[in-house]
Amino acid sequence: MITRAIKEQEVKSLVEKFSKAKGAFIVDFKGMKVEQVTSLRKKLHLAESEMKVVRNTLAKRALKDHPSAEKALSASMRGTNAIVFSYGEINATAKTLADFAKDVEVLQIKTGMMDGEGLDANRIKFLATLPGKDQLRAQFLAVLLAPASKLTRCLDVYVQKTSGRRSTGCSSGLIYNLLIYLEDF
């Protein structure tokens, strides 16, 4: 039997997790095997997330301290639920849940919350398709470096055609060829 003190401690823990989390998702894990739940928890841990199985009444009490989260999540608090707290990138957590739900069909993503706004299943699936922060940074750097690398290749080809010397194919080779070319002037 769970005592009142234990329940209060659980609610306090949930309030802290909601405060710390950047987003949260409610999933129905009914029918999943223990090995599958353990595997999901490990995958979520890699995405800086945590899955917590809680009683619906305790979760609703914890949500009262977070009105925006309460509005977004409390309607889905029926049945066997687990709350997935996302402490890192929210789209990484959504991607982990969506990929796992494809493999384990009994896992259902009910709803979610990000920045105080509710997310339905379709928005969560869309969120899962977005690239992560590191991938966006890499794409942005590639866009910034593309003109410089094209210029380098064009100058390299020009030096090859005009001097008749073979390039090494890298920017240091371009610099070397430019120096040789300038010596001929």
Concatenated DSSP letters of 42-68: HHHHHTTEEEEE--HHHHHHHHTT-HH
Q: Under CATH, what is the fold of the domain 4-130?
A: Alpha-Beta Plaits (3.30.70)
Contact predicate 90/22, CB 8 Å: yes
Instruction: Write out pLDDT tens, residues 40-86.
Output: 999 999 999 999 998 999 999 998 888 888 888 888 888 889 999 99
Instruction: Write out pLDDT tens, residues 77-120.
Output: 888 899 999 999 999 999 999 999 999 999 999 999 998 888 88
pLDDT of residue 158: 80
DSSP annotation of 170 = S
pTM for this predicted structure? 0.73
Judged against a pLDDT cut of 70, whether residue 173 lies above it is answered with no
Instruction: Write out pLDDT tens, residues 48-58.
Output: 999 999 899 99
| Confidence class for position 121, pLDDT limits 50, 70, 90 | confident
Per-residue pLDDT averaged across 142-146, rounded?
Answer: 78
Please list, in sequence order, all residues whose beta carbon lies within 8 angstroms of the beta carbon of residue 130, skipping any fewer than 6 positions away.
91
Per-residue pLDDT averaged across 28-39, rounded?
Answer: 93
pLDDT of residue 170: 53
Q: List Cα–Cα distances, 18 to 13, 63, 69, 88, 140, in angstroms.
A: 9, 8, 8, 13, 32
| Confidence class for position 178, pLDDT limits 50, 70, 90 | low
Q: Is 5 exposed, middle or buried (0-12, 13-18, 19+ CB in 10 A)?
A: exposed
Please list, in sequence order, all residues whose beta carbon lies within 8 angstroms of the beta carbon of residue 9, skipping any fewer than 6 positions away.
none
Token code pair at residue 90: 């929210």
Q: Smallest Cα–Cα separation from 110: which of 17, 28, 40, 13?
A: 28
Contact predicate 80/29, CB 8 Å: yes
